[in-house]
Structure 1
């Protein structure tokens, strides 16, 4: 860069495309690491094969250099043009649809009493009511990992039909969710739609590993759904130890 823009650097100005300012960082940590690693590989490969296949080698070197600048500066011109901020922790959404052979009022009443949820959700240790519209949740994990607690409130409710909730500001786990209850066709019980959204802690790093964590959480919730269905239909209390 010093060879290409010597006057700008001598005058203390920034690169016209890659500004050297933390305010302009729009790539998360995981993506920056990947860019540096991939850029280094392409640049090395381009230099190594410069005389063997100049056109391909130069293309690799240019691409590698671009990725290196992208990773080291933390700035992506394409993201900037699209108005995207890659440092923001995007929500991870999980949806589950299932049918329970019980009346809508019965299914709604059981779910609405959040204290019941740890009976079939193996990752929940407890849910305690703290106020008219506030509950304290505690999640447990395997391997001696300390439990995590947060508070959540109901933001929308329609009796026998809909419950929507969200964690309150400052919670360790930022999450929102909704569960909708509808009559199944031909009187075949209740159709339930569960939507759960959460943000991984850790900012950009959390976003970067979200694609790894999401299948694990989705499988856990899918198992919770099966446990809930089994409990409501057969009265079986599943084993919740993890």
Structure 2
């Protein structure tokens, strides 16, 4: 039995290595794929270095804070200044309000904190509770501009108006020092479990892997595996296009032309009024879903949402703002990959994540709208196969 399991394991390992070799050494695009993998490894190394530095500084700062709390009567002997109160309030509300940069905080000598600026109605209660929990706050003067939805408020763009979209999720974020400690402990548990051939070793490996996954993704495991939580990745992109808003908006309405400019979009076809069927090449095969236009403001905004049950849940909007003789294009999107955060990480390693694709595709669109000449790359091959319908 043990020999049979060993042969199966060897076969799986050999098959996996063969698939990897075919992917990386493809005669047409192998060089580009290898370059992407090298770039991703270099980027990952830089991010890990930055994360380790942040974790170290976070641990040092927290140790100072714990030491200060252990000294009795510290705050009574050293009252906080208004500047200290303001900084503590800003730090606290940054954990419970998504667009905390839009809020203004002013502390007075009597301990009253003045809050002003735009905020979503769904975040007001969490905001007030967070401010009251800050030491040194004796009262709150409410001058907030409360909005039910983000609408056209520029400071709130990128915020979804769904109840509880952030809030609780933000409270589940771990600080860098805790993430580093969890990752180290989880990795040690997983390695120790792999060295054992008993059921206890398997359980230990699973626990260690779960801890590492939680630390890397910095979100609840249910959201990582896409069992809870709706959106996993948020993307914002802004670009200037030297073409009038009418032309840019008109182009965006003709979604059937997207495959001519988007490298991994194989097909987009209308299925009804404001409904479209998408077929996109993914890292492990084509993925298909249906999406619906939910908001259309002529020459100003287009918003979309995937239909219920789509393998890739996504929603977002595109704003078209006049800027001189051109258009300021703003794209905001939230999406949940088919395999959650794990799927997004795999796609990012292969250069097929949504952010990388959006950057490349928008540059093709910009080039075409400004010059009238389609890009000379893989997406342009479809232009020759399918005559252009956009004018």
Distance 1:223 1:70, change over 3 A: closer
The answer as to 2:267 corresponding to 1:126 is yes
Aligned equivalent of 2:372: 235
Q: Which runs of 5+ in 1 are unaligned?
A: 1-25, 27-31, 44-67
| Deviation of the 1:72 alpha carbon | 6.9
2:256 to 106, 115, 128: 115
Alignment of 1:13-92 (within 5 A): 36-39=186-189, 71=207, 85-88=220-223, 89=226, 90-92=231-233
Deviation string 1:141-177 (CA, Å, 9 cap, x unpaired) is 57xx542211000111211000110110111111112
More helix by share: 2
Question: Residue 237 of structure 1 aligns to a residue in which SS?
Answer: coil
Alignment of 1:199-238 (within 5 A): 199-202=336-339, 206-208=340-342, 210-211=344-345, 213-214=347-348, 216=351, 217=353, 218-238=355-375
Distance in 2 separating the partners of 1:40 and 1:74: 9
- The structure showing larger relative contact order (alpha-carbon pairs under 8 Å, at least 6 residues apart) is 1
Distance in 2 separating the partners of 1:97 and 1:172: 27
Aligned equivalent of 1:161: 300
| Deviation of the 1:41 alpha carbon | 6.1
Alignment of 1:129-148 (within 5 A): 129-141=270-282, 146-148=285-287
Q: Which runs of 5+ in 2 are unaligned?
A: 1-171, 173-181, 194-203, 383-391
| Deviation of the 1:103 alpha carbon | 0.7
Distance in 1 separating the partners of 2:360 and 2:289: 22
Distance 1:192 1:148, change over 3 A: same
Distance in 2 separating the partners of 1:209 and 1:236: 34
Distance 1:210 1:192, change over 3 A: same
TM-score (norm 2): 0.40
Distance in 1 separating the partners of 2:278 and 2:254: 13
Note if contact 2:191-2:205 (Cα within 8 Å) is conserved in structure 1. no
Deviation string 1:13-40 (CA, Å, 9 cap, x unpaired) is xxxxxxxxxxxxx9xxxxx998643336
Aligned equivalent of 1:198: 335
TM-score (norm 1): 0.62
Deviation string 1:61-98 (CA, Å, 9 cap, x unpaired) is xxxxxxx69927979xxx9xxxx743123421122111
Distance 1:39 1:169, change over 3 A: same
